[in-house]
Amino acid sequence: MPNLPHDDPPRSPSPDAAARDDTAQDRAGGPTRRQFMLGSVAGGIGGFAASLLAQESALAQRVPVPAEGAPAAVLNPVEVTLEINGTPRVLSLDSRTVLLDALREHLALTGSKKGCDQGQCGACTVLVDGRRVLSCLTLTASVQGRKVTTVEGLGTEERLHPIQSAFIANDAFQCGYCTPGQLCSAVGMLAEVRNGDVSHVTADVRAGAPALTDQEIRERMSGNLCRCGAYPGIVAAVHEVHSGRQAQQAWAYATPIQIAQARSADGDANETV
């Protein structure tokens, strides 16, 4: 029979009514609504877990566990041909391998350092076709066929690269952790200056090759952090190589007379305090 205007509209059962239904079903010995819902949720999670386990076991069957001491199987392998420090190399790598890991883990070229592994410190800087790149953010497969130069390829122990000699002469490092990246970055940066590339602090970008001031060097090397604070030496070393003259040392050890004068000035100051 159709609802008449004065009939009440059908209403969903109130929580109290639902609870009464549950109690009634409890008494009747059947599953309650709450039991039914809990069972459904548990069944859903169980099914999801079972599907994950099935996927995992299928994957385990596809990837054999290597024997102890044997190299791990390469997933998604790609073959990459590179020229590294003048030597052609062919690598079979997981396609996700970054250049820094390829150099350090596959070629034992451990000069390039992993500082932050996220493009913020510059410790991993290498040269690709003469331009500086952060190897921790560069997929090896993306530099297929290119020339890579690491700190090991800049110079030899017998014949250092000029920037390496200048770093030593100017005390441009302490712990040395950032130094391989600083050296590669300095070499790339000097090439950029020779090409007339401008920087964020170049006053007139139309005036041709900018003069390499301290400010230019600091800006252009700002992607290479040095926790030891060897920046004054790094700037001096870059100046030295760029100008071809030995940079003027901006500091000197104190002489015995200066030390005595400083002590007596300290004593005077203490007496007045």
Q: Which residues bind ligand FES (CB under 6 A)?
A: 114-117, 119-124, 134, 136, 173-179, 226-228, 230
Phi, psi dihedrals of residue 88, rounded to the nearest 5°: -65, 135
Task: Give the nearest distance from C-beta 161 to ligand FES in angstroms.
Answer: 18
- Where helices occur in the chain by DSSP H, the ranges are 15-28, 33-62, 99-101, 162-169, 179-194, 214-220, 231-243, 256-272
Closer to ligand FES by Cβ: residue 193 or 221:
221
Separation between Cα atoms, residue 213 and residue 203, nearest integer Å: 11
Closer to ligand FES by Cβ: residue 32 or 177:
177
Closer to ligand FES by Cβ: residue 155 or 177:
177
Task: Give the nearest distance from C-beta 119 to ligand FES in angstroms.
Answer: 5
Closer to ligand FES by Cβ: residue 84 or 124:
124
90 neighbors 79 (Cβ within 8 angstroms)? yes
Separation between Cα atoms, residue 153 and residue 130, nearest integer Å: 12
Task: Give the nearest distance from C-beta 267 to ligand FES in angstroms.
Answer: 36
Task: Give the nearest distance from C-beta 224 to ligand FES in angstroms.
Answer: 9
- Please tell me what DSSP assigns to residue 139: B
The structure tokens listed for 211 are 């003069």
- For the chain, how big is the Rg over CA atoms in Å? 34
Closer to ligand FES by Cβ: residue 80 or 183:
183
Task: Give the nearest distance from C-beta 93 to ligand FES in angstroms.
Answer: 18
The structure tokens listed for 138 are 């560069």
Phi, psi dihedrals of residue 103, rounded to the nearest 5°: -70, -50
